[in-house]
Structure formats: structure tokens, C-alpha cells
Structure 1
Amino acid sequence: MGLPLTGYLNREDRDAGFDVAREAIAWCAENISGSHLNFDFRVTDVQNKRYNAQGNTRRETSAFPCPHGSFDVVLLASVFTHTLPADVKHYMYEIVRVLKPGGRSLITFFLLNEESSALSKEGKGWTKFEHEMQGARTTNVENPEAAIAYPEALVRDLYGECGLELREPLRYGTGCGRTTGMSGQQDVLMIAVKTASRNRLTQGVR
């Protein structure tokens, strides 16, 4: 995701990427940061049963390594599809914290709604979220972070609670068996904007 931005951002702009995947971060640091000094990549040693089981930091206490109100855009691709409900809520507040007033987010989810549930009952779709958990469904009861889906209504409520205003329409993926939609399995909550009321709240805790 950093590569195409090297042709879009200028030298006064900044891109910061962080992940639990050490090899991916090392590749980005070597192949992008070496020639684009305004691109910064770092490992966050946060626990994840699937991707970083030995991580030293629990997600519910982890903070993004960024100051308040420092970014115009926050992008999470294939993160909340492997994140437990309590951690999703924690990260949503972190997203709002680091966004500038009027800043935007783009996040991917597996969303459960009438259409995706009906298609699943018909045996369609690439991923089967067969196991119920509090506030979500998973493909693997022993390793729920392998793939997690969230009710669309719950996600919409969480956005409102955290102070992110969705810009319709959502872009649904084809992973549940849709014949039309964006290519790729995941659903994309395309643009959400940090609201004015949340701007006042976050500015008050600097």
C-alpha cells in the first residue's frame, strides 16, 4: 500500500505504516524508506493469536505510535477481519484520536447483513462464519482471529459512537458469494469523516 503513495505524496507529506508482520515491515523499510525518507515503517509488537502470538503488548492497552490529530487519512486493510470485538472498539477510538479535524478513514471488514447471511445459508461464499461469538462470528472457534465477521448494524453504531460519520454507499465485496460488488473478499467502508463533535472531545484530552 505504501508503494503507490510514493508517486502521490510530495516531500512535505508523511506516510506512517505499522504492523505486527516483521518481514513485511522490513521489506517496506528497505524498498521504500531508503529512497523516500518521508515514509516510515515500524513493527508494533502487539499480540495476535494468528500473526503474532508472542507479542508483548495486549491490543486493548496498545496505542498507535502517533500523536493526537496528526493524520489526514487512516487506512486499515485486512486488520479488523482478524481482530476481536473489544479490540476493534479500542482501535476505532485510536483512529479518531490520531485523525485531524475532518480527517478520513478507509477500513475493510467482513460484514454480516441480510444479503450475506442469505447467501451463506445457500452454501455460497468463500469463507464460512459458522461460529457465534459475542458481537461477531468466526470461522474457527479455537482461533477466532483467523477470520472474523461483524454485523453491519453493529459496525454502523460503533462508527457513530466513536465520532466517525460514514459516507455512503458502502462497497461490498464478493467474498460472501455476491455476483456483483468490489473484487476481493472483504467489504470496504469507503470513507468516514471525523465529526466536529468528536474534534472537540479529542482536542480536550491533548
Structure 2
Amino acid sequence: MKKRLKRFVPKFLRGPFFEGLRYRNDMIPPKSMSFVGKGDFVKIGLEFRRHFIELAGLRPEHRVLDVGCGIGRMAIPLTEYLSPAGGYWGFDIVRQGTDWCSARITPKFPNFHFQHSDVYNKHYNPDGQVRACDYRFPFEDDFFDFIFLTSVFTHMVPADLENYLREIARVLKPGGKCLITFLLHNEESAGLIRAGKSDLDFVHEMDGYFTTKPADPEAAIAYDEQAALQFFQRCGLAVEPPVRYGSWCGRNKFLSYQDIVVAGKPRAA
């Protein structure tokens, strides 16, 4: 493959180009270790890097926080975008992922940092010692330019979600932005669920959310759209419309798989 690619890459770019490929391949975890859901690991990471730039204005010099960083699906493509002036911090409740990233990514990119957070989650970390509703992000106020969460609030109950949003507002710089994915329950998605077109059957209404499994609710959680947007307002974040709806419920027109909400922290008057 390398010989074929050489025909399309100018000589002066071949060194950096193939070094970049080597880094990426070396940093991609084996499928047996991946716990971040279905789909192509590399393609999804590249897709979201594009969303971060186009929807939320991510720049190379930004400080970035990845809440629920998994095993590097979003971090790896960002190594090719963030400059040494910027930086990446990620934490996750699954130690396997943060240990892998610390061993494979940080030695090559010292401005990429990974941390395990022992937060309880019935589905993903049942032995966690800290409740998500009490967890304080391990960062100072007004530290980050951009924060993102992909497929995190789809596994969190309301009290936990609201605390995380308050923490996002605390550590985000004034004028900074966040991009968060949801599974939003609204008239359209509810109709598609009833019609049997949805991948996820959110027919069980709980206390402030919907789930597919009442016995294990955090396996998949959907929120009423208006209720979800009100969480942002209560926590001091301003949603930037429109909501970009996803394909999860069987829509014909969509941007990604889950629904995407972008919000900002207002600057002081």
C-alpha cells in the first residue's frame, strides 16, 4: 500500500505523511479492547473532528476537554490538528481506556493528557467510588476553550447530567463552547419509535428520562428535547441553535448518528 500511495504524495511530504500514518496505526487499539460502541473507529473520530471545527469553531491553539474520552477515538485525530500551543485533556471512568491512551498517545504528543476518574455508573463502572452527581472535574475554573462529550449523556440520569453541565460551565472559559451528543425524544423521534424504525426502543419512561432497559437504565438514555435544553439554561450555558438531529431513530435527513447540541458560556457583560 505504501508504494501505491507514494505516487500520490510529493517527495517533500512523504516523510511527515507516512510518519503520521505510522502514529495513527500504532495508536489505534485492537478491536478486542474497544468499548466505545459500534462503527468505524477511525471514520467516527475524523467525522467528529470536522464537527468540532465546523460547528463549534475549534482552533489548533485551543485547550480541549474530552469528557468520557474512552480509548482515544476522538483524541487520535486531534493529534493531527491541535498545535503545541494548544492541548488536550481527557478523562474516563473505564481505566482500560485511559491507561491505553497514556501509554500510546502521550509519549508521542506530550500535550495530550489522560486521567481515570473513578465515577460510579451502574452500566460501565458499577464499583466506582464517586457519584457522578457529586463529581468535581479536576480542573480550575475558566480553563478550557472547548469541551465535548460524545455518547456520555446517553448513559447518565438527570442528577448526574446536571452536575456535569454545571462543571462544564465552571471549567469553560467565557466565550468557550461545548458540543454534546444526545438521544432526544421529541414528536418526530417518538413517531419513528412507534413505527418501529428506530434502532433504540425508548418506550420506558422513567423519572425525567426514557430508557430501553428499566433494569439497567444507563445502558441507553433519551431525554425530552425541551427538558434537555432547559438543563443548559439552568447551568449557565446558552444553546446555539439549531439542534443537529441524528439517524438513531430512523430519520432520512441527519448529520450524525446521535443528536448534536452546541452551547456556549456567555462572556461577562
Q: Same fold (TM over 0.5)?
A: yes
2:91 paired residue number: 18
Return the alpha-carbon distance in structure 2 between the equivalents of residues 88 and 155 of structure 1: 10
Structure 1 residues 53-98: Cα deviation after superposition (integer angstroms, max 9, x where no partner): 0001111111111111000000001100000111101110000000
Amino acid at match of 2:250: G
How far apart in 2 are the matches of 1:30 and 1:117? 43
Q: Root-mean-square deviation (CA), in Å?
A: 1.1
Q: 1:6 aligns with which of 72, 79, 95?
A: 79
In the aligned structure 2, how far is the partner of 1:5 from the partner of 1:124? 34
Q: How does 1:121-136 map to 2 (within 5 A)?
A: 121-136=194-209
For residues 145-187 of structure 1, the C-alpha deviation after alignment (integer angstroms, 9 at most, x for no partner) is 0000000000111111212111121111111111110232x11
In the other structure, the counterpart of 2:18 is: none
Report the Cα distance in structure 2 between the residues aligned to 1:124 and 1:14, rounded to whole angstroms: 41
Q: Which protein has the bigger strand share?
A: 1
Larger mean Cα displacement after TM superposition, 8-17 or 92-101: 8-17
Identity %: 45
* Structure 2 equivalent of residue 194 of structure 1: 265
Shift in Å at residue 21 of structure 1? Answer: 1.4
1:81 counterpart letter in structure 2: T
Q: Distance in 2 between matches of 1:164 and 1:138?
A: 26
Unaligned runs of 5+ in 1: 201-206
Q: Distance in 1 between matches of 2:109 and 2:185?
A: 40
Matched residue type, 1:177 = G
Q: Give the aligned partner of residue 135 of structure 2.
A: 62
Shift of 1:14: 1.5
Distance 1:89 1:183 in 2: 24
- Whole-Å separation in 2 of the counterparts to 1:183 and 1:57: 32
Q: Which residue of structure 1 aligns with residue 190 of structure 2?
A: 117
The one-letter amino acid of 1:21's match is V
Secondary structure at the counterpart of residue 150 of structure 1: strand
Hey, what does 1:204 align to over in structure 2? Answer: none
Q: Which has the higher Rg, Structure 1 or Structure 2?
A: 2
What does residue 85 of structure 1 align with?
158
1:175 aligns to 2:175 (yes or no) = no
Aligned match of 1:203: none
Counterpart of 1:39? 112
- Identify which of structures 1 and 2 has the higher relative contact order when contacts are C-alpha pairs closer than 8 Å and 6+ apart: 1
SS in structure 1 opposite 2:77? helix
Note the C-alpha offset of 1:50: 0.6
Aligned ranges 1:135-150 → 2 under 5 Å: 135-150=208-223
Cα displacement (A) at 1:7 = 1.4
Distance 2:223 2:131 in 1: 21
Give structure 1 regions of 4+ aligned residues with deviation exceeding 6 angstroms: none
User: 2-side partners of 1:145 and 1:46: how far apart?
Assistant: 14
Q: TM-score, normalised by structure 1?
A: 0.92
* DSSP-derived class of the 1:149 partner: strand
Tell me the alpha carbon deviations over residues 26-67 of structure 1, each in whole angstroms, 9 at most, x when there is no partner: 121112101111110010000001110000111111111111
